[in-house]
Amino acid sequence: MSEATKSNLLQGVTGDWEVVVGMEIHAQVQSKAKLFSGASTEFGAEPNANVSLVDAAMPGMLPVINAYCVEQAVRTGLGLKAQINLRSIFDRKNYFYPDLPQGYQISQFKDPIVGEGEVIVDMPDGTSFTVGIERLHLEQDAGKSIHDLHPSKSYVDLNRSGIALMEIVSKPDIRSSEQAAAYLRKVRAIVRYLGTCDGNMEQGSMRADVNVSVRRPGDPLGTRCEMKNINSMRFVQQAIDYEAMRQIEIIEAGGTINQETRLFDSRNGETRTMRSKEEAHDYRYFPDPDLLPLEFDQAWVDEIASGLPELPDDKKARFIADMGLSPYDASVLVSDKSRAEFFEAVAEGRDAKLAANWVTGEFFGALNKNGTAIEDSPISAAQLGALVDLISDDTISGKIAKQVFEIMFETGEEPAKIVEDKGLKQVTDTGAIEAAVDEIIAANPDKVAEYKEKPKMFGWFVGQVMKVTQGKANPKAVNDILKAKLDG
């Protein structure tokens, strides 16, 4: 493959080739108990501490559906603007693995709880695209095999065994690795707004299986390869980029793609064969005889729908229409629930645009620079709001406010106290400003003469007055007084 093709692909410009991606996201249901047992789902517990007899698949144990998990799946389906199926079936997906004591996973196959839906994804350049949702089904998570604790033995931790997962299957509507990451981010934002999954990828609460194929634009879909269980946005992007280039190189060299499951190795950013289609499992799905079909009525769904929180798309529309924010600022602010909440608290009863500038500008900038999560911010929304108030009522200028902000971020002190202690109050007393202006004019007759020729020199005088007043003079007053004195 040429360097140009490679570089285009990395920028999502596919040229001769089109990358086609579909994703299966496994999102852990936010619930205290597992899908079919009362065992705890707490993260980080001692190995095998959260295992009931059902999770350990002791003979004669029967699964009992957790109604709260069902409600969470319905909420998520509604958030994905999807069809909610009033009747769905739990099936057994049969396979053998040491961390799967039942010998099958209880999942949903032909009749999932949620059908088709759609997700609108905003890109950083301001464009957006839609990803179709094929389905969402409920299933159990498996346990975890641990191979690195002992040189010759493997251990099994069943704490995850039986935890409720929502598998969200997209249509192959994604066309670049960048779009894939943006889609995953959007789904994560939606489940976080809904409170149905914490979206914590580092803890494995959200993982993605990524299907990648390539084709010449207009051709039918190419053969796809699947990469399973990718647990970071960056790895999703790397896996797709690597895989697309690998496939293009094979096809350009006259070869064909084998449909297979490939492993993404995050250490070198490469993928390698795990198993081919010939070895693919026949899971012999059949309805689980221990569980009745899952049925509920539309009235219950309607009740859940009426209690949904405002979701990112609606919030964004409201920020633009009611608060006058730019589409870009609005989408940055709604991209994360805690960001949106912080902004709304700052903007409450204030100039929303000024609040948005401070939140997206100085505030997010400082968080990024320091690698601080918004939850751990040293500045509260109330404090940032108080700073915005000091600007709005002309106590300080925007420039001084940046200084105050830095001190706030370092010390967590109240802005009014910082302004008071450091004597940063804006000088609006025209007498004091006039005195400063007179002083500058008297000391610089040459500059005054120059100004008569070059009106651009005005800026130099403003700078001098600001210097003398340590940046505290009200800029408008400085302009007015200077103009009157120099032109008069």
Summarize as ranges the residues that interact with Mn ion (CB under 5 A). Answer: 167
The C-alpha atoms of residue 81 and residue 254 are separated, in whole angstroms, by: 43
Q: Residue 178 or 226: which CB sits closer to Mn ion?
A: 226
Nearer to Mn ion, 105 or 474 (CB): 105
Residue showing the smallest CB distance to Mn ion in the complex = 167
Long-range contacts of 215-224 (CB under 8 A, 24+ apart): 215/17, 215/18, 215/20, 216/16, 216/17, 216/18, 217/14, 217/17, 217/18, 221/20, 221/172, 222/20, 222/247, 222/251, 222/257, 223/256, 223/257, 223/258, 223/259, 224/20, 224/22, 224/257, 224/259
Nearest CB to Mn ion, comparing residues 95 and 155: 95
- Nearest to Mn ion of 167, 198 (CB atom): 167
Give whichever of 118 and 167 is closer to Mn ion, judged by the CB atom: 167
Residue 371 per-residue DSSP state: T
Question: Toward Mn ion, which CB reaches closer, 19 or 201?
Answer: 201
Q: Smallest distance from the beta carbon of 164 to Mn ion, in angstroms?
A: 12
The DSSP bridge pattern shows strands 286-287 and 91-94 to be antiparallel
Contact criterion met (CB below 8 Å) for 19 and 175 = yes
> CB-hemisphere CA count at 13 Å for 48?
9
Work out how close the CB of 323 gets to Mn ion at its nearest, in angstroms, rounded to a whole number: 40
- Beta carbon nearer to Mn ion, 105 or 360: 105
Closest approach, Cβ 45 to Mn ion, in A, equals 23
Smallest gap, in angstroms, from Cβ of residue 334 to Mn ion?
A: 29
DSSP reduced 3-state for 368 = helix
| Minimum separation from the CB atom of position 62 to Mn ion (A) | 23
Residue 102 CB, shortest distance to Mn ion, in Å, is: 15
Closest distance between Mn ion and the C-beta of residue 269, in Å?
25
* Distance in Å, CB of 26 to Mn ion, minimum: 6
Q: Identify whether the C-beta of residue 433 lies closer than 8 Å to the C-beta of residue 482.
A: no
Distance CA 335, CA 193 (A): 10
Using the minimum distance from each CB to Mn ion, give the nearer residue, 107 or 426. Answer: 107
Residue indicated by tokens 């209690």: 307
**Toward Mn ion, which CB reaches closer, 167 or 389?**
167
Q: In whole angstroms, what is the distance from residue 292 CA to residue 164 CA?
A: 18
Which helix (H) or strand (E) segment holds residue 452: the answer is helix 445-453
Give the helix ranges, DSSP H, for 144-226.
177-194
- Give the count of beta carbons closer than 10 Å to the beta carbon of residue 248: 21
Nearer to Mn ion, 167 or 414 (CB): 167
| DSSP code at position 32 | S
CB of 410 to Mn ion, least distance (A): 46
As a whole number of angstroms, the distance between CA 40 and CA 392 comes to 50
Q: Which residues pair with 170 in a beta bridge?
A: 133
The minimum distance between CB 107 and Mn ion, in angstroms, equals 6
Q: What are the DSSP E strand ranges found in 108-149?
A: 117-122, 128-140, 144-146
Number of C-alpha atoms within 13 angstroms, CB side, residue 46?
Answer: 1
